[in-house]
Amino acid sequence: MATMRAAFAFYRNFIWIANAISIFGCFTILLNGKPTFIIPVFWMKICTNILLGIYVNVFQDEQFYFYYNLGFTRKRLFALAFAIDLSVWICMTLLTLILLQ
């Protein structure tokens, strides 16, 4: 529980932009009308997450001491935050597919 609280706290760094990208992806799937369009959207999601990760790693690196104090390494923190983000993206995409049918 404490782990997820800290991971979610870190995810809040880029929650708005990550969710905006997810919504944009779902919107393009709806516009395109084909479920197979999920594949390029998935890769777009992966690439934008990598870019977001690099941005946080380089420009907001001061904050990591806070998380180190909570027992998190950078790798673990990013892995958990991206797992949360991908879970949100999967839920949104499934809803989009339901809307498509």
Partner 1 sequence: MTEALEFDSIELDLDGRKILSSVYMKCEIGKVVGVLGRNGSGKSCMMKILFGSMDAQHKHVRINGESLPENYLRSRLFSYLPQENLIPSQFSIGEAFKLFNVKVDHVGEFWPEISSSIALKPDRLSGGTRRLVETILVLCSQAPYCLLDEPFTGVMPLYIEKMQEIIKKVKHHKGIILTDHLHRHVTAVADSLYVLSNGCTYPARKIDDLVKFGYLHAMNEGPLPWKAL
Interface with partner 1, residue 64, by CB under 8 A: yes
Closest by CA to 12, choosing from 69, 50, 52, 62, is: 52
Q: Which two tokens stand for residue 62?
A: 């001061």
The contact pattern for partner 1, residues 9-48, with x = CB under 8 A and - = no contact, is x--xx-----------------------------------
Taking the complex as a whole, the smallest distance from the CB of residue 49 to partner 1 amounts, in Å, to 19
- Report helix, strand or coil for 46: helix
Q: Which is nearer to partner 1, 63 or 87 (CB)?
A: 63
CA dihedral sign, ordered 32, 47, 11, 5: positive
Structure tokens that stand for 12 in this block? 């809040």
- Chain residues binding partner 1 by CB under 8 A are 2, 5-6, 9, 12-13, 60, 62-66, 68-73
